[in-house]
Amino acid sequence: MKTFLLQFFTWWNGQTLGTRFFTWRKGKRVGEDQFGNVYYEGGKGVDGRPRRWVIYRDLAEASSIPPGWHGWMHHRVDTPPSAESYAAREWEKPHQPNLTGSAAAYRPKGSLLSGTERPRVTGDYDAWTPG
């Protein structure tokens, strides 16, 4: 019952009822990534190319799509990583989730949220004081 309510009232928990119905009608499962996200293809988009979509394992977070699947989702490559022996290039970093808005977000030196004071620089602003 909980899963049905989440699908009915939210869009960020896996899939909505509309997505589930469209996937049932038109979707062909193409593969799954190491995070448990499942990728589908089916039907034609407005540009004439096949529609591609992902059903996230947990929260709908686009940054959780690995580079190989990202290329397939955006029609950069025709072959999904599940149909070939995809290996990341040596210059590709391992996947990291988007931490923006979380406690682990990057806060540069001097940021208001970092808890440190911004270092003074030449030409810094001096507040006006009535004289």
pLDDT at 81 over 60: yes
Render 28-63 in DSSP notation, one character per residue: EEEEE-TTS-EEEEEEE-TTSSEEEEEE-SSB--GG
* pLDDT tens-digit map of 50-78: 999 998 888 788 888 888 898 899 999 88
**Looking at residues 107-128, what average pLDDT do you find?**
73
C-alpha span between 20 and 8 (Å, rounded): 11
Q: What is the pLDDT of residue 37?
A: 92
Q: Which of 50, 56, 60 is CA-nearest to residue 80?
A: 50
Query: Strand, helix or coil at 11?
Result: coil
Q: What is the pLDDT of residue 100?
A: 84
**Looking at residues 23-33, what average pLDDT do you find?**
88
pLDDT at 11 over 60: no
Mean pLDDT score of the chain, rounded to an integer? 80
The reported pTM is 0.66
C-alpha span between 68 and 60 (Å, rounded): 18
Q: What is the pLDDT of residue 4?
A: 61
C-alpha span between 124 and 119 (Å, rounded): 10
Burial of 35 from C-beta contacts in 10 A (0-12 / 13-18 / 19+): middle
Q: What is the pLDDT of residue 7?
A: 56
Using alpha carbons only, how large is the chain's radius of gyration in Å? 22
